[in-house]
Structures are given as structure tokens and as C-alpha cells.
């Protein structure tokens, strides 16, 4: 279900779906995943990069299912 059907979620939602991950662990080691920062532009055209980290839910669930979760490397 990765790719076009991917769903990017905040840390709290990811932890609900993958219970072995905690918000604290993600704060310290979240760079192990292909996360992305939410970036948005306001009405004045000012760009903001202070949004939350977003995690690819289906990709991470797939990592748990096929064992890739055991081989994480911090970036």
C-alpha cells in the first residue's frame, strides 16, 4: 500500500498504529524513517517550515511486517 496510497501522519497517529513506537522515541530517533517536515505558505506568501514531522504510515507498517524495522539507521 506504499506509493500513491501512502498516508503521512503525525507522530501521535503513527504511535497508535505501531504501538512499539513512542512519541519520545520518535523525537530522539525519528530520522531513521523517511519522514518529512510539513511546510506551508500563509496568505501573505510567507513560507513556514515549523510544522510537525510527518511519517509514512504504510511504509513503516511494511517495515514492521517484513522485518526492516530491525535494521534502522539514523540519518
In tens, the pLDDT along 34-46 reads 999 989 999 999 9
- Encode pLDDT of 45-71 as tens digits: 999 998 899 999 999 999 999 999 999
CA–CA separation, 35 vs 9, rounded Å? Answer: 9
The predicted structure's pLDDT at residue 1: 45
Please count the CA atoms within 13 angstroms of the CA of 14 that sit on its side-chain side. 30
* Range(s) of the domain holding residue 29: 3-71
How many domains would you assign to the chain? 1
Q: What per-residue string of b and e applies to 56-75 under the rule 16 or more CB within 10 Å gives b?
A: bbbbbbebeeeeebeeeeee
Looking at residue 75, its pLDDT comes to 87
Measured between alpha carbons, how far is 44 from 63 in angstroms, rounded to an integer? 40
Amino acid at each position: 500500500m506504499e506509493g500513491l496510497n501512502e498516508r503521512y501522519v503525525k507522530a501521535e497517529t503513527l504511535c497508535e498504529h505501531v504501538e512499539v513506537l513512542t512519541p519520545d522515541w520518535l523525537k530522539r530517533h525519528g530520522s531513521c524513517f523517511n519522514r518529512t517536515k510539513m511546510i506551508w505558505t500563509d496568505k501573505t506568501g510567507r513560507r513556514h517550515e515549523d510544522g510537525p514531522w510527518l511519517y509514512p504510515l504504510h511504509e513503516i507498517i511494511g517495515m514492521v511486517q517484513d522485518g526492516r524495522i530491525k535494521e534502522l539507521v539514523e540519518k
